[in-house]
């Protein structure tokens, strides 16, 4: 359970709908709607062994930058992670926590540098609070540079929520898709 004061700050922010497309890369052979990897390993907006999350970018460039950041943070060559499958998702969600503006970040006591830091704990606390308030996900600036990410809490979908993956291509080299 998240900190009650943080839950109250998250709950005070408006529910934002998101309807549009988003993108994601992942290894071949995995279910594009699972979120199991993030559930086990954690991510920016969820701690390890917590809940499933689909980490999406709102454009292909963001997804490519996130892929290259993954390789750098792992201290490995991008080629070590290939091949990857790129998916485009049709997304229709109604209850998103939008942290794209500095005022919203301030409300949840995050700075822009904290939201992009390699120390994921502050963001994970906000993610826990957002999920506990029933949010379907978080829109936030990408930690990999320009762009926006959408972290989707797939076990928190509202009745009218939809997310549909479409396989686009397989990345065989690290520069594809960028």
pLDDT tens for 130-160 read 999 999 999 999 999 999 999 999 999 887 7
Residue 28 has pLDDT above 50, yes or no: yes
The per-residue pLDDT for 161 is 87
Task: Answer for the pair 86, 169: CB distance below 8 angstroms, yes or no.
Answer: yes
E strand intervals along 27-83: 54-57
Tokens found for residue 17: 């709908």
pLDDT tens for residues 37-67? Answer: 999 999 999 999 999 999 999 999 999 999 9
Q: How far apart are the first and last CA of the chain?
A: 39
Measured CA to CA, the distance from residue 170 to residue 101 in angstroms comes to: 34
Domain boundaries, the chain: 4-171
Q: Which residues pair with 23 in a beta bridge?
A: 57, 88
> Of 172, 165, 177, 170, whose CA–CA distance to 34 is shortest?
165
Measured CA to CA, the distance from residue 52 to residue 20 in angstroms comes to: 21
Q: Which residues contact 126 (CB under 8 A, 6 or more apart)?
A: 6, 10, 45, 97, 99, 108, 110, 138
The per-residue pLDDT for 23 is 98
Measured CA to CA, the distance from residue 163 to residue 35 in angstroms comes to: 13
pTM of the model: 0.93
The per-residue pLDDT for 156 is 93
Task: Lowest mean pLDDT of 65-74, 111-120, 153-162, 166-175, name the range.
Answer: 166-175
Helices 4-12 and 121-132: angle between axes, nearest 10 degrees: 70
Measured CA to CA, the distance from residue 87 to residue 60 in angstroms comes to: 10
Q: Between residues 172 and 45, which one has the greater pLDDT?
A: 45
The per-residue pLDDT for 178 is 47
The per-residue pLDDT for 174 is 58
> Of 128, 102, 130, whose CA–CA distance to 16 is shortest?
130
The per-residue pLDDT for 177 is 47
């Amino acid at each position: 359970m998240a900190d009650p004061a943080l839950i109250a700050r998250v709950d005070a922010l408006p529910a934002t709908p998101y309807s549009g497309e988003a993108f994601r890369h992942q290894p071949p052979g995995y279910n594009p709607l699972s979120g199991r990897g993030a559930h086990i390993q954690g991510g920016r907006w969820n701690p390890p062994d917590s809940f499933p999350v689909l980490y999406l970018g709102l454009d292909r460039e963001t997804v490519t930058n996130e892929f290259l950041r993954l390789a750098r943070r792992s201290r490995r060559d991008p080629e070590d992670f290939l091949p990857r499958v790129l998916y485009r998702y049709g997304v229709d969600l109604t209850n998103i926590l939008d942290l794209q503006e500095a005022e919203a970040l301030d409300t949840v006591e995050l700075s822009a540098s904290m939201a992009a830091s390699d120390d994921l704990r502050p963001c994970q606390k906000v993610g826990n609070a957002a999920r506990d308030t029933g949010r379907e996900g978080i829109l936030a600036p990408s930690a990999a540079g320009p762009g926006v990410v959408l972290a989707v809490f797939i076990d928190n979908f509202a009745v009218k929520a939809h997310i549909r993956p479409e396989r686009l291509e397989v990345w065989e080299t690290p520069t594809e898709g960028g």
